[in-house]
């Protein structure tokens, strides 16, 4: 006899989506937001470039350096190398569902409605014979995310607090929502960011200084570049939950990402976002430079290997972007197998 607990577990497992490449749909609310699609495209392209450059690891000193700083990887035989490669391939193979998704489609839906699809409702709960409580909930009213069974309307997305775009305290740029069954995701690009354009690395790279530390507020990061913010949230969707798990938002900064232990870095979304960002910046003439402390003579260090002997992976002063003609295309995309 199967217990109720085991039966419930088996039922949940049967409902889990197969691990496949990410599928996404850009909602009609984004139709006239000219900066959204280029940013989504660049987020996916950054993953493709990361995969290509990792495939060309032996010839690419820059990607070697990036992987060492973010994940402690020194050779392609490192246990994490193939894991990271598979994450980037899965993101790079993301496909857009152009037509309106059905209720059965496991699709991450991207909205530009400033969370106006969410409606406030009240729920009354009976705790005792004589005592009832009423609480507010917010429900996503998108037709794809609701169904009627037995005269009862079921909603995939609900929450006990107002949606993030309407929460002035959070001041969200992009927010990601998980469905109650954790099988679906929706993403909202909040105002005024959904109306902005030219927020891709391709556009911004030429405006960065020729040399800038990554801990500088003017430097690119996964929390300031629009396309990389989108990439960060896409890496938090259900398709990646068995591979990487997000840590608190403080780890979005460069220094905590390179200081954290390697086992944490392997499951930290921000490290993957930094990897993709730095891999793509190489295409635009910016590479991660190995640089000693200001008091040291830089000429004493002839290679990243010598510098690594001087400073460990997590030295906070480390991490400078330097403009250079260096370029390594890596392996061709898409993968052949």
Nearest residue to 274 via CA among 204, 223, 237: 223
pLDDT at position 237 is 95
**pTM summary value:** 0.84
Closest CA to 67 of 311, 331, 271, 290: 271
Q: Is the Cα dihedral 156, 160, 166, 168 positive or negative?
A: negative
Asked which of 128-137, 180-189, 198-207 is least confident by mean pLDDT, the reply is 128-137
**Whole-number Å distance between alpha carbons of 273 and 235:** 8
- Which pLDDT value is given to residue 124? 63
pLDDT computed for residue 304 by the predictor: 54
Query: 54-76: per-residue pLDDT in tens?
Result: 999 999 999 999 999 999 999 99
Query: How far is it, in rounded angstroms, from Cα 63 to Cα 57?
Result: 7
Domain boundaries, given as residue ranges, for the chain: 58-92+198-323
Is the distance from CB of 123 to CB of 135 less than 8 angstroms?
Answer: yes
pLDDT mean over 220-228 = 93
Q: What is the DSSP letter of 147?
A: E
Radius of gyration of the chain (CA): 22
17 pLDDT more than 60: no
Share of the chain above pLDDT 70, in %: 81
The C-alpha atoms of residue 44 and residue 89 are separated, in whole angstroms, by: 10
The residue with tokens 């290997």 is: 305
Label residue 199 by pLDDT band (50, 70, 90).
confident
Alpha-carbon torsion, ordered 3, 4, 10, 13, to 10 deg: -150
Instruction: State how far the Cα of 60 lies from the Cα of 62, in Å rounded to an integer.
Output: 5
* Distance in angstroms (rounded) separating the CA atoms of residues 123 and 200: 43
Q: CB neighbours (10 Å) of residue 78?
A: 16
Instruction: Write out the H or E segment, with its range, that includes residue 321.
Output: strand 320-323
Q: What is the mean pLDDT of residues 246-259?
A: 79
Average pLDDT score over residue span 147-153: 85
Q: For position 129, what pLDDT does the model report? A: 60
């Amino acid at each position: 006899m199967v217990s109720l607990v085991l039966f419930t577990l088996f039922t949940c497992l049967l409902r889990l989506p197969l691990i496949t490449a990410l599928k996404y749909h850009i909602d009609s609310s984004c139709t006239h937001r000219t900066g959204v699609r280029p940013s989504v495209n660049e987020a996916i392209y950054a993953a493709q470039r990361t995969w290509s450059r990792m495939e060309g690891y032996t010839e690419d000193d820059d990607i070697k350096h990036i992987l060492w700083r973010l994940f402690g990887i020194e050779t392609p035989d490192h246990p994490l190398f193939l894991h990271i490669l598979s994450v980037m391939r899965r993101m790079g193979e993301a496909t857009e569902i152009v037509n309106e998704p059905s209720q059965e489609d496991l699709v991450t839906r991207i909205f530009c409605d400033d969370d106006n699809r969410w409606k406030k409702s009240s729920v009354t709960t009976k705790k005792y014979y004589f005592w009832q409580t009423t609480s507010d909930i917010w429900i996503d009213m998108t037709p794809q995310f609701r169904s009627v069974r037995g005269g009862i309307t079921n909603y995939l997305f609900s929450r006990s607090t107002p949606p993030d775009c309407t929460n002035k305290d959070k001041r969200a740029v992009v927010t990601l929502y998980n469905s109650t069954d954790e099988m679906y995701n929706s993403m909202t690009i909040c105002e005024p960011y959904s109306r902005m354009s030219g927020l891709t690395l391709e556009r911004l790279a030429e405006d960065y200084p020729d040399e800038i530390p990554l801990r500088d507020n003017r430097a690119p990061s996964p929390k300031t570049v629009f396309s990389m913010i989108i990439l960060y949230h896409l890496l938090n969707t259900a398709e990646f939950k068995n591979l990487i798990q997000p840590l608190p938002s403080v780890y979005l900064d460069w220094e905590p990402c390179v200081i954290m232990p390697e086992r944490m870095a392997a499951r930290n979304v921000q490290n993957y976002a930094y990897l993709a960002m730095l891999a793509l910046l190489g295409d635009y003439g910016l590479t991660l430079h190995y640089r000693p402390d200001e008091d040291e003579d830089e000429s004493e260090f002839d290679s990243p290997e010598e510098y690594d002997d001087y400073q460990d992976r997590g030295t906070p002063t480390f991490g400078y972007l330097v403009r250079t003609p260096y370029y390594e295309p890596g392996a061709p995309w898409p993968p052949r197998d």
